[in-house]
Structures are given as structure tokens and as C-alpha cells.
Amino acid sequence: MAGGGRGGHPNLALKAKLGSPIHSPGSVKSLREADYSGAPPFSPPTTIKLGIRVKQRSPTDFQTPTLTLKKRGTGTNIPLTGPLPDTDPIVKSLQDGLGCDANEKWFAYTLTWDRPLGMKFDSTLTVTPFPFPPLVTDNGFQIVTVAFCHASQKFEDGVYSYAVSVLPGKNSSGFAMSVPQASSGKKSTKKSSKKPKAKTRSKKKSRR
């Protein structure tokens, strides 16, 4: 689900829940409210392609994300299919379109969205192992990118949505991410607070 022209749109807002993230030996869990503000698909139900980018030290030594999604208010679970094999075309599309450094790895999934699910969700993202030295330490933090699009789109040349999740190490404090909003271009209608200057009367010379 995305809106606007080609490229990425930051129309997914992630708000951390109280007490998140949760550190446990070898992993970190982030609980967030996910609000999508883009346009829904015209003909639901529809398949959504989703990717999560994490860290890797080598092709055989990498982090593993576990994501759960639920409809907010009802707790209805939204099943994810995946992670898909590294040879899947969706993984290649994520790599080609959004980039992947030598110390990064994309995990790809699919899900089915239907209108009754709405646009507000509760998400739980667990990343294992965490910390992941030297790439992620207890004194540092990690930025995890999440991207998704309609099944008819491709990440390398189509329309997609994205968001970032900041996972602080246990010695670090989390902070909120905000996306600057573009100016509407409207002129301000606020009236000037300056008061007009009073006119001074000229003194007439008296006649004798």
C-alpha cells in the first residue's frame, strides 16, 4: 500500500509503546503502533510484499527478524508468509531497489490485506541476536528498515512505502523518529500586530 508517484513514501508511522524495547539475553523486542496514512488498494483483498533489512557479518552469520502484526482494537492476527528464500524475486527486488550493503541482509514476506483489517496495527518486531558486535553494541543502536508495496509493484521502479525502527542497545535510550512535513504553500492570514502610527497635526502660527 502506497500513495503518490514512483518511489518511496514515508506514510507508515511507528510509535513505540510504553516499556518498549524489551531486552533479553540474545535478542531485543520492539512493540509499536503502526498507522498507515496512504491510500488503500482499490480492489481488496490484495497481496502485499514486505521486507525487513537487518545486519549480517557474513552470508552465514546474520540477524533474524520476527514480525507479528495484529489489527488494533480486536487483536486479529495478520499471518505472514515467509521469510522467503534468498533466491526469491522479492528479495532481489528489495536489494536492487533499496540497496543492501555487504553487512546487511533483506528478509522478505508476503501478507494478504483486506478492508476489514483497517489501517492501524499493533506490531512486534524481535531481532536475534542482539547486540550484534561489532555492528551493533549495547552502547549503540540499530536502525531497521521496513518497506512494503502492492504485489503489482516493484521496489526498484514502482511505488512503495517505508518506515524505520530504531532499536537502542540496553545502555542507550530510545528516541522518537519524526518525518518533516512539506509546507502547504498557503500564505499566512495572520494579521500584523503592528499598530498604525497616529497622524501628527501641524501647529498653525498665530497671527498678530
Q: What is the DSSP string of the chain?
A: ---SSSEEE--EEEEEPTT-SEEETTEEEEEEEEEE-SPPPSSSSEEEEEEEEEEEEETTEE-EEEEEEEETTT--EE--B-PPPTTSHHHHHHHHHH---TTEEEEEEEEEE-GGG-SEEEEEEEEES-SBTTTB-TTSEEEEEEEEEETT--TTTSEEEEEEEEEE-TTS-------PPPP--PPP-PPP-PPPPPPPPPPPPPP-
Whether this prediction's pTM lies above 0.75 is answered by yes
Question: How would residue 205 be classed by pLDDT, with cut points 50, 70 and 90?
Answer: very low
User: In the chain, what percentage of residues exceed pLDDT 70?
Assistant: 81
Higher pLDDT pick, 55 / 42: 55
Q: Does 131 score more than 50 pLDDT?
A: yes
CATH 2.60.40 fits 7-168, yes or no: yes
* pLDDT one-digit tens code per residue, 12-28: 999 998 888 999 999 99
Please report, for the chain, the start and end positions of each structural domain, with discontinuous segments joined by +.
Answer: 7-168
